[in-house]
Chain A
Amino acid sequence: MSSAAITARPTRSVFAASRSALGALVKRDLLVLRKHAGEFAARTIMQPLLLVFVFLYVFPSIGQGVGGGGGKAGESDFATVLVPGVVAITIMFQGIQSVAIQLSQEFGYTREIEDRVQAPCPLWLVAVARVLSGAAQGMISAILVFPIAAVVHAPGVEAHLSVHWWVVVTLIPLACLAMTSLGLVLGTTFEPRNIGLMFGFVVLPLVFLGGTYYQWTKLSAIQVGGFPWLQTLVLVNPLIYIAEGMRAGLTEASHMHLYVVYPVLIGFCVLFLSLGLRNFRRRVLS
């Protein structure tokens, strides 16, 4: 310890110091994830499991299956729509859970952020580290959830899945980044005591109007004066592009064109990241 003299001269370049700091920040998050692996898995699986259990097992079994007008085939079509939707909301909830709620607490309650921002790297990198490790968690949860969503069904109900690997492999990471960036915006905006507000006014509308339970292409049927207002309105919802993208990646069902999905999701990433980083900086500096 005492062998090294104390010096007021920084020994490393900003770049070198930032690189190791980023590594340490992500490593820390992943260690915490490993420590709470059970909790993480339970939290990740619970909601999708309940969704598919109720919609794809209970409903068809008691004769009120969604799409039941078309018999088992109709119910299976609904399953085909729902499975990608479930993967999409899983990714979204991971962004909320691993970034928004965590950050909100670290800013408002535990003050842990106070120490982390003294890391020898630019402030924005501290936020980006959290976004990256959150995205990694999002990918893990997507992989956890997919088999469950694909398997839990009533007899005779079956989702018609066909995996398009290049879409899955590119879209899931992009979707995770977009949702953890959204988490950064929410976590730097909402105080811990307002988290309920965030769920009520941001998370729930995103979920229910995010194409989890229906295809965006079918929304054109909802019209006022010939104008498909709902189909137009939900375009502001980032989740719709993820759900549609997952539909393209996991099924043969009709979906929004991928030429739209990718650029818009990249746009949302940029928008949320820049908003989130600006908020983060404002919260940290005075």
Chain B
Amino acid sequence: MVVGELGEVIRTAGLTKVYPKADAPAVDGLDLGVRQGELFGLLGPNGAGKTTTVGMLTTRVVPTAGAAWIGGIDVVARPTLVKQVIAVVSQQNTLDRSLTVRENLYFHGLLFGVPARQARRTADELLERFHLAKWADASVFALSGGMAQRLMVARAIYHRPAVLFLDEPTAGLDPQSRLALWEILGELIADGQTILLTTHNMEEADQLCDRVAILDHGRVLALDTPAALKQGVGADTVVSVQADGDPAALAELLTREITGVTQSRLTGAGVELQVKGGGANRLLPRVLSAAEAGGFAVADLSVAEATLETVFISLTGKELRD
């Protein structure tokens, strides 16, 4: 069996990339294990090292140190062999502009050694499955962003890769196309496809991923299922308060007065509190009266459930989009 002991299809050990002329490593000693059939997410802000990690795993970026294996094959030593069993959907549109939609799939089949007749048949099956049959003979210029993305995913899974890499697949897609893509990924996972995706969209990571590694400055800050990550924060509710007066003083007051506050943070115009057990006993009225009693005129007050963003904030003290 070429897959690792725990059914891990991707494994990295101390994987590190330092770009020339950079002061800090882009990826810093990454140890990951992605299991077969899993949808694994790398979540982090821009520059966290997600794309570099995918680059190293897909043979495009040469690691400075450490090692990576896909299906037990050393990615650095045997890139040509690894490319037989992986597929990449990159951030940019890399479709072949000189070919039609169908030809893009057909030639991908030939590229991966599928005989011509079968390549044509598989191309047609994929066009049906990805709702692109109507556009089969159109130029890829005719496709919308969402359709182009679908075609790229169809092309990627054409050769039945052991791992499908998706780098920020929904960045730049409209909400409808994003939902359509999520649906497709769900189907692929149901088929047993192993997927590694990178995203800076915490909702995407939360909804789609079996497990998420939160990355910042090239290091894994936390790695678990989205539910466990959120539980790990200790808070289940986030309260945002905007009021006149000194936000720091307000934060101090509320942290003292409200039971269950695990962390407070100043956000430009106001204060954000992470609260444990806040869902139950009338949290908003309590925050309001405590603030008013302290002499703060509350302008805005809102409450939300903890998300992966909350997790990221509690780990780094900053927002994902910073």
User: Taking beta carbons and an 8 Å cutoff, which residues of A are in contact with B?
Assistant: 1-2, 4, 6-12, 14, 16-18, 20-21, 23-25, 27-28, 31-32, 35-36, 110-115, 117-122, 284-286
- Contacts A110-B97, A118-B58; A10 near B9 (Cβ below 8 A): no
Is B60 a contact of A117 with CB atoms below 8 Å?
yes
What chain A residues lie within 8 Å of B113 (beta carbons)?
Answer: 12, 16-17, 20-21, 120
Is A6 a contact of B160 with CB atoms below 8 Å?
yes
Residue of A nearest to B160 (CB): A6
Is A119 a contact of B111 with CB atoms below 8 Å?
yes
Q: Which of B164-214 contact A (CB under 8 A)?
A: 191-194
Bound Cα distance A114, B91 (Å): 10
Is B98 a contact of A119 with CB atoms below 8 Å?
no
Bound Cα distance A4, B118 (Å): 13
Bound Cα distance A141, B86 (Å): 39
User: What 1/0 flags go to B132-176 for Cβ under 8 Å of A?
Assistant: 000000000000000000000001000011110000000000000
Bound Cα distance A100, B82 (Å): 29
20 sample A-B contacts, Cβ–Cβ < 8 Å, listed by A number:
A2-B191, A8-B2, A8-B3, A8-B70, A8-B71, A9-B2, A9-B71, A9-B85, A12-B84, A12-B113, A14-B80, A31-B107, A32-B99, A112-B95, A112-B97, A115-B96, A118-B87, A120-B83, A121-B83, A286-B19
Is B110 a contact of A111 with CB atoms below 8 Å?
no
What chain B residues lie within 8 Å of A2 (beta carbons)?
Answer: 191
User: What 1/0 flags go to B102-127 for Cβ under 8 Å of A?
Assistant: 01000100111100000000100110
Q: Which of A14, A31, A110 contacts B81 (CB 8 A)?
A: A14
Is A17 a contact of B110 with CB atoms below 8 Å?
no
Interface SS of chain B: loop
Q: Which of B7-23 contact A (CB under 8 A)?
A: 9, 19
B311 at the A/B interface (Cβ < 8 Å)? no
What chain A residues lie within 8 Å of B86 (beta carbons)?
Answer: 118
What chain B residues lie within 8 Å of A118 (beta carbons)?
Answer: 58, 83, 86-88
Bound Cα distance A35, B126 (Å): 24
What chain B residues lie within 8 Å of A10 (beta carbons)?
Answer: 73, 81-82, 84-85
Bound Cα distance A262, B206 (Å): 65
- Contacts A2-B191, A111-B94, A112-B97; A8 near B111 (Cβ below 8 A): no
B313 at the A/B interface (Cβ < 8 Å)? no
- Contacts A14-B80, A285-B61; A111 near B92 (Cβ below 8 A): yes
B90 at the A/B interface (Cβ < 8 Å)? yes
What chain B residues lie within 8 Å of A112 (beta carbons)?
Answer: 94-97
What chain A residues lie within 8 Å of B58 (beta carbons)?
Answer: 118
Bound Cα distance A6, B159 (Å): 9
Is B55 a contact of A286 with CB atoms below 8 Å?
yes
User: What 1/0 flags go to B17-44 for Cβ under 8 Å of A?
Assistant: 0010000000000000000100000000
Min C-beta distance of B191 to chain A, whole Å: 6
- Contacts A114-B90, A120-B112; A1 near B80 (Cβ below 8 A): no
